[in-house]
Amino acid sequence: MNGRVTRGLVDRFIDTIEVTAAGFLAVVTLLTFVSVLLRYFFAWAIPDSYDFTRLLLGILIFWGIAVAGYRGDHISVDLLWSAAPPWARRAMDIFAAIVTLVAMVALTWMFAVKVIGTRADNVGTFDLRQPVWIYYFVAWIGLASSVILLVARTVRLVLWPETVVQPSEIHSVE
C-alpha cells in the first residue's frame, strides 16, 4: 500500500468518527432541550434523561479524543517547540506522539476492565434500569479508535512527516 491509499482509508475513518461524535452531540443537545422544555412547561421529566445525557456526553468526549489526538488538536504548549530547529521539532513530535499513544493504550485497557466490571455488576440506569455497560462499551470503541488513530499518526510522523496534518491546516477557509 502506498501512503496515498492509507491516507484515504485513515481520512475516511476519521470522517466516520467525526460524524459519529457529531451525532452524539446532536442527541445530547436535543435530549437536554426537550427535557428542559418538558420540565418547565409540563412539570414532567423524561425517564433517565439525566443518566442518558451523562452517558452520551461521556461517549461524545471519548470519540472526540480520537480525532483530537490524531490531528494534534489537543491543548499544547509550543514555546520550546516553536524555538527549536526542524529536526528537534520532529523529534519532539514523535516523542509526544509515543507518550500520548502509551497513555491512551493504558486508558483504553483500564476502561475495558471497567466495561467488563460494569457488565458483571449488572449496573443499570436509575429509572428504566437499562444496562449501563452498553454505553460504556460504545465509549470504549471511541477510545480504541483513538489508539488506532494515534498509531497511524505516529507511523506518519516517523515515515511520512509531510503527510501529517497540522492543527492550523484543518479548518482553514480559502
pLDDT for 93 equals 84
Task: Supply the pLDDT for residue 74.
Answer: 64
DSSP-derived 3-state class of residue 34: helix
Q: What count of other Cβ atoms lies within 10 Å of the Cβ of residue 83?
A: 9
Structure confidence at residue 20 (pLDDT): 86
Burial of 122 (0-12, 13-18, 19+ CB in 10 A): exposed
Structural domain includes residue 56: yes
Q: Which domain, by its residues, includes 103?
A: 3-167
For residue 14, being part of any structural domain is answered with yes
Residues with pLDDT less than 50, the chain: 1-3, 169-174
Q: Note whether residue 45 is domain-resident.
A: yes
Answer whether residue 172 is part of any domain. Answer: no
Beta strands in 24-128 (DSSP E): none
pLDDT at 172: 37
Number of domains, the chain: 1
Write the burial class of residue 80 (CB in 10 Å: 0-12 exposed, 13-18 middle, 19+ buried): exposed
CA–CA distance, 120 with 21 (Å, rounded to integer):
27
In a domain, 46, yes or no: yes
Q: What is the pLDDT of residue 166?
A: 59
Residue 112 lies in a domain: yes
Would 173 be classed as within a structural domain? Answer: no
Cα–Cα distance, 88 to 84 (Å, whole number): 6
